[in-house]
A and B are shown apart, each in its own frame.
Chain A
Amino acid sequence: MAAAEQQQQPPPSEGCKPLGALLNGIAQAAYYGKADITEELLRGQLYPEAAPEEFRALRAKMGGLLQSIASADMDLNQLEAFLTAQTKKQGGITSDQAAVIAKFWKNHRVKIHESLVNQSRWDNVLKNMNWRVDLKSQSRHIDQINTPVAIVEMELVKNGQESEFLCLEFDEAKVSQMLKKLSEIEESMTALTQTT
């Protein structure tokens, strides 16, 4: 399951070898939507020797740490400070465990953050867009014959619902109108990223 199992260090202490895999299991359930990864499954696979309450405590502790790290979207500096503090705490973590957690976060940060972002998008999202250009061969107006039009199909999706397809026609003037608006957005965006 986890990359942590292929570490090139001297054999890590007993609590660490499966820790990477545990973190992965926690992430799968919390951030990647794999609801079928239960506590029992993880215990059986990774810590078969551990008592259920012992494992539950471990899982809760690791889950809590991961949640704090993910919620703050910690960068490397923040992560180091956070984990160091955890090693100094009563009932905290060992430095080996800290190393495993750090490695896990480095590998999964972007994906987990993306998952959290998606969890907070509840309105229609543009999933896909296709278009083609047609030559209008029939029209209500004689002067519109043989004018090119773009037919655009947009796939809109709302969290957990079926896609809605929006099919629109744009003539050259409308495309220009759209481009003008899109340029305005781009300008605003540039201004925004320059100030943050």
Chain B
Amino acid sequence: AADKINIMPQDFFAELCEQIIQHLNHKIPGVNTVELCERLQTSGIEISIGDLAKITNVVSLLFSTAARNNLSTEDLVTALGSAVSTLPKHAVQVIRHVWNEQGKSVSVSEDVGNMATVGQFVDMKWKLGVAMSSDTCRSLKYPYVTVTLKVADPSGQITNKSFEMTIPQFKNFFRQFKEMAAVLETV
């Protein structure tokens, strides 16, 4: 991952670190790696979503470990320096700056493991369509709903998940959420 950080321009790396620390501070639900990756690729940087995810995880772990050990900015830079000698100077600068500004407010928690398998719902987009015809049936005519859920996975990365529902499936989906709301209110 360290050599991929090399090819990331400083401002992009800074933006990534900002998002990571804000996620750790619960200010944002997750890190928008997909969008960042697209922008990087548009500006000609050859980096895959997998590489970006690895970098994100590494930096996230770095910050959360530093928080747990109550490291000062100087301690962090020292630890970083001895562990990863191949980090570009601008990357170290960014990490130092971000930690200096926001490191204190990163809270230490022991329960991270419990949240491991559950993602956070962030947002939802939808589309209503009618399938008219297909190669096997000229008169399909069935309406369906396509939904895209924006989800922050446990490591904080934001992904999109889409799926389709027929009208009866949608009605059931809606009904279940209404029930959920009712229960949440009474608890």
Contact = CB atoms under 8 A, between A and B. Distances in A.
Interface of A: 70-73, 113, 116-117, 119-121, 123-126, 129, 131, 133, 135, 138-141, 148-152, 154, 156, 166-172, 174-179, 181-182, 184-186, 188-189, 192-193, 196
A110 to B, nearest CB: 12
B69 interface: no
Contact of A176 (B142, B169, B181): B181
A123 B176 contact: no
A177 B187 CA distance: 19
B136 interface: yes
B120 A169 contact: yes
Given A70-B137, A71-B137, A192-B143, A133 B180 contact: yes
B118 A167 contact: yes
B134 A120 contact: yes
Given A120-B136, A156-B161, A148 B187 contact: yes
Contact of A188 (B109, B128, B146, B184): B128
Interface of B: 26, 107, 109, 111, 114, 117-121, 123-124, 126, 128, 130-131, 134, 136-146, 149, 151, 161-167, 169-170, 172-174, 176-178, 180-181, 183-185, 187
A133 B187 contact: yes
Nearest to A154: B163
Classify the interface of chain A: helix, strand, loop or mixed: mixed
A184 to B, nearest CB: 7
Contact of B136 (A119, A186, A188): A119
A102 to B, nearest CB: 18
B104 to A, nearest CB: 15
Contacts of A71: 136-139
A131 B143 contact: no
Contacts of A138: 111, 114
24 contacts: A71-B139, A72-B139, A117-B137, A119-B136, A120-B140, A124-B163, A151-B118, A154-B163, A166-B161, A167-B117, A167-B118, A167-B119, A168-B119, A168-B121, A172-B181, A176-B181, A177-B123, A178-B124, A178-B177, A179-B181, A182-B174, A185-B170, A186-B174, A193-B143
A177 B177 CA distance: 11
Contacts of B111: 138-140
A141 B144 CA distance: 40
Given A133-B183, A151-B118, A174-B121, 6 more contacts: A120-B134, A124-B164, A169-B119, A179-B174, A188-B128, A189-B167
A15 B133 CA distance: 34
B141 A131 contact: no
Contact of B163 (A126, A174, A186): A126
Contact of A140 (B109, B140, B161): B109
A149 B118 CA distance: 12
Nearest to B135: A120
Given A73-B137, A140-B109, A140-B111, A133 B128 contact: no
Contacts of B123: 177
Contact of A117 (B121, B140, B163, B187): B140
Q: By CB atoms of chain A within 10 A, which of B109, B141, B174, B177 has the most?
A: B177
A138 to B, nearest CB: 4
Contacts of B121: 168-170, 174, 178
A178 B136 CA distance: 35
Contact of B162 (A113, A124, A177, A185): A124
